Structure 1
Amino acid sequence: MKVFIVLALAIASVSAGVMPQDVPMHPRDMPAKPSIEGRITNGYNALEGQFPYQVGLSFSSSSGGWWCGGSIISNQWVLTAAHCTSGAQSVTAYFGAVMRTNAKLTYTVSSANFRQHASYNPSTLANDISLIQTPAVGFTYYINKVALPALANSYSTYAGQRAIASGWGKTSDAAAGVTNYLQYQTYDIISVDQCQRTYGSAVASKNVLCIATPNKSSTCQGDSGGPLVLVSNGVLVGVTSYVSSAGCQSGAPSGFTRVTSYLDWIRSYTGIYYA
């Protein structure tokens, strides 16, 4: 299957005029020892209440389980990645957690509560976005929603802006030990053109944001579906989608589903209004 995906990406990119130099991969799909814990590579420990919008998501299926992140966007909706919900039968959502196993609140819901984008394409990684509906949660200092972008910002490139990614992803590509603590790191958003030089235009499309990953710091396995939030105003602009198949510490850009491209889709299910 991996060979097919690589070939499909190469063909699509050539036809679009941009040849990929690297192969992307969903963090969830990276080889690893069985574990649902970890951290952003070379990140920092989060403080209680620092990221109240962060949700931990433990998915279950007949073939096993996996861990992802998500973002609270209302008291009943969590935004995550389609490659996280894909194939899952249920999910347990952990709200207000810094130490993953010590959440302020947990809810378990079935796949009937998932709203996965109908055009998600695991071959090109396109439309990698999903919604999960949960019972209503009360907002506190530890549990709260993150702001969605305004429609007026739909055409902003965000290139050059600083943004924070957070999650419980792997500590390194070769990590045997893991941490239970929520991690975060601040990154520079790069232009789509820069990202296309690595992954080609079939993957690094206008519906994607990418970050530079210097000093072996990046999102990694376990961070999938988690938030990318602007430092300047606390607005959610990205959903963790892919890293290089060469590894989280390879130095290649990390890709995020661009939230502004899906504002109407989000509203169609949630009714959330944004300016």
Structure 2
Amino acid sequence: MKVFLTILALAVASASAFEEVVHPKDVKASKIEGRITNGYPAYEGKAPYTVGLLLNNAWWCGGSIIGHNWILTAEHCTGSAEFATIYFGATWRTNAVFTHWVHRNDMINHHAADISLIRIPHVDFWQQVNKVELPSFNDRYNDYNGHWAVACGWGGTYDGSPLPDWLQCVDLQVMHNSECVQTYGSGTVGENILCVRTPDGKSTCGGDSGGPLVTHDSNKLIGVTNFVSSAGCQSGHPSGFQRVTYHLDWINQHTGIAY
């Protein structure tokens, strides 16, 4: 019995040592949440697949155009939403080329992971509004470890800053899950999670939830922004994304999109 109690105590101590996570949309800010910390302003047309989502006129998230009729985002953005306004082709957050309004019936929430789809009216593609490709089924086992990718979203450039409206992007390097587990534990970092390093305070943060992580070398959508450390976006702890390759079958099942 003493041995069991000792092991239990060690397990509890070990579990409590892991960093807690928070959804980026729930990071508090002075206005509608939305930020990339220590990133750089995007030029017009840099990320034409990025959309802004204003849900219930109350919280802000990001999303990615993956087809003429589909947006990919996070379930914690859409799960409790009754409606959303989608901003297309915006560099200045609310100055969109056009917007669409969708009802909760157009939102498909994953029941076991923090990822969701939004069905939209048909959108034509051009320089400022375009889709991003998903990884192919042949890449479903690619962990993208060490790859550089870009995340984009709207908001402030450091913790607690006033929130600028210009689209911000940040370049981040994918890390191996075994490294990310050391910070958050295996209960948080499963096979469906992809993590990135956040040196020098460069990170996703509040309002970037649901937004894209796209590879530099192949321009493929590999992550959907999910969580940051509860210690803060500039803490240097990894940022977490839903791993798109893990969800290719689910996406194809609902949208028919596959490569």
Shorter-chain TM-score: what band? over 0.9
Following superposition, the deviation at residue 105 of structure 1 comes to 1.1
Aligned 8 A contact 1:30 1:221 in 2: yes
After TM superposition, the structure 1 = structure 2 runs for residues 3-42 of structure 1, keeping only pairs within 5 Å, are 21-33=18-30, 35-36=31-32, 38-42=34-38
Partner secondary structure for residue 195 of structure 1: helix
Determine the C-alpha separation between the residues in 2 that align with 1:130 and 1:209: 16
User: 1:108 aligns to what?
Assistant: 101
Determine the C-alpha separation between the residues in 2 that align with 1:38 and 1:72: 19
Are residues 1:258 and 2:251 paired?
no
Determine the C-alpha separation between the residues in 2 that align with 1:167 and 1:42: 12
Following superposition, the deviation at residue 19 of structure 1 comes to 6.7
Following superposition, the deviation at residue 156 of structure 1 comes to 1.3
User: 1:204 aligns to what?
Assistant: 189
Partner secondary structure for residue 146 of structure 1: coil
RMSD: 1.7
Determine the C-alpha separation between the residues in 1 that align with 2:63 and 2:136: 20
Partner secondary structure for residue 138 of structure 2: helix
Q: Match for 1:94 among 68, 76, 87?
A: 87
Following superposition, the deviation at residue 20 of structure 1 comes to 5.1
User: 1:226 aligns to what?
Assistant: 211
In percent, how many aligned pairs have the same letter?
Answer: 49
Following superposition, the deviation at residue 217 of structure 1 comes to 1.0
Are residues 1:133 and 2:119 paired?
yes
Following superposition, the deviation at residue 39 of structure 1 comes to 2.9
Instruction: Number of aligned residue pairs: give it.
Output: 249
Deviations, residues 125-177 of structure 1 (Å, cap 9, x unaligned): xx1100000110111110000010011111112111100000014422221x1
Unaligned runs of 5+ in 2: 1-7
Determine the C-alpha separation between the residues in 2 that align with 1:18 and 1:155: 29
Determine the C-alpha separation between the residues in 1 that align with 2:146 and 2:16: 24
After TM superposition, the structure 1 = structure 2 runs for residues 38-77 of structure 1, keeping only pairs within 5 Å, are 38-60=34-56, 65-77=58-70
Determine the C-alpha separation between the residues in 1 that align with 2:44 and 2:142: 32
User: 2:227 aligns to what?
Assistant: 242
Structure with higher Rg: it is: 2
Determine the C-alpha separation between the residues in 2 that align with 1:209 and 1:142: 28
AA partner of residue 218 (structure 1)? S
After TM superposition, the structure 1 = structure 2 runs for residues 72-221 of structure 1, keeping only pairs within 5 Å, are 72-119=65-112, 127-175=113-161, 177-221=162-206
Unaligned runs of 5+ in 1: 1-10, 120-126
**TM-score of the two chains, using structure 1 as the length reference:** 0.87
**TM-score of the two chains, using structure 2 as the length reference:** 0.92
* Deviation >6 Å, runs of 4+: none
Q: 1:243 to 1:37 in 2, by over 3 A?
A: closer
